[in-house]
Amino acid sequence: MSITIRRLAPIDALDYVTLRREMLADSPWSFLASPEQDRGCDLEKVRASLAREDAAIFAVREGDRLVAAAGVVRDEALKKRHIATIWGVYVAPGARGRGLGRAVVCAAMDAARSWPGVGSIHLAVSSNAPLARRLYDSLGFREWGYEPDAVRINGVSYGEHHMAMALDKQP
C-alpha cells in the first residue's frame, strides 16, 4: 500500500484538531501542551497556522481521518530565521509500525529545506519515546542537550532530548 502525505490546508483544520486531541490524550508526555491550553485544539488558530507560508503540517489520511502528522515552523525572530523546528509528530496507535512517522517527518524536513536561509532543523523528543528517538537518530539528528524535568504529569517527571540537524546532512 502506498502512503500519501499531504500538506494540510485551512480546510483540514477540524480534522487536525481531532487528531491533536487524540495525540495529547494518548501520549501526554510527548507534548508540552495539555488539551485545555493547547492552541492546536483551537480551530481558528489552526486554520490561521495552516495558511502560513513559513509553517506547515504534513499528514497521512486513512479513510475519513488523519492517522499521522508532523509540523514544521520557521522561527519568527530575525536572529533565528535560519532555524526550523519540527513539532507535533504523532502516529495513531493503529497505524504505527508502517513507516508513517518517518514519512511525515521527512516531508517536514523537505519543507524546511525549501525555505531560503534555513540552515538547521531542531526538535525535542521525550525520554519516554525511544522509538521516536531512534527515528530521529536514523534521520541524522544529533542530541545537543537534555532537559531532565521537562514535563510533569500527575507528579511524574519526563525528560526531553533536544536534537538538531544541519540541512547539508541527508537522511
Report yes or no on 39 lying in a domain.
yes
Q: Would you call 135 exposed, middle or buried from its count of C-beta atoms within 10 A (0-12, 13-18, 19+)?
A: middle
Q: What is the pTM of this model?
A: 0.92
Contact 12, 56 (CB under 8 A): no
Report yes or no on 38 lying in a domain.
yes
- CB-based contacts of 62, cutoff 8 Å, min separation 6: 95
Q: In which band, very low, low, confident or very high, does the pLDDT at 39 lie, cut at 50, 70 and 90?
A: low
Report yes or no on 171 lying in a domain.
no
Query: How many distinct structural domains can be found in the chain?
Result: 1
Q: In which band, very low, low, confident or very high, does the pLDDT at 3 lie, cut at 50, 70 and 90?
A: confident
Supply the range of the domain harboring residue 77. 5-166
User: For residue range 42-70, what is the model confidence (pLDDT) as tens digits?
Assistant: 889 999 999 999 999 999 999 999 999 99
At 38 the pLDDT is 64
Q: In which band, very low, low, confident or very high, does the pLDDT at 170 lie, cut at 50, 70 and 90?
A: low
The neighbour count for residue 143, using CB atoms within 10 Å, is: 13
User: For residue range 115-147, what is the model confidence (pLDDT) as tens digits?
Assistant: 999 999 999 999 999 999 999 999 999 999 999
User: Tell me, what CATH number does 130's domain have?
Assistant: 3.40.630.30
Give per-residue burial for 22-41: e unless 16+ CB within 10 Å, then b: bbbeebbbbbebeeeebebb
The neighbour count for residue 116, using CB atoms within 10 Å, is: 5
Give per-residue burial for 82-104: e unless 16+ CB within 10 Å, then b: ebbbbbbbbbbeebeeeebbbbb
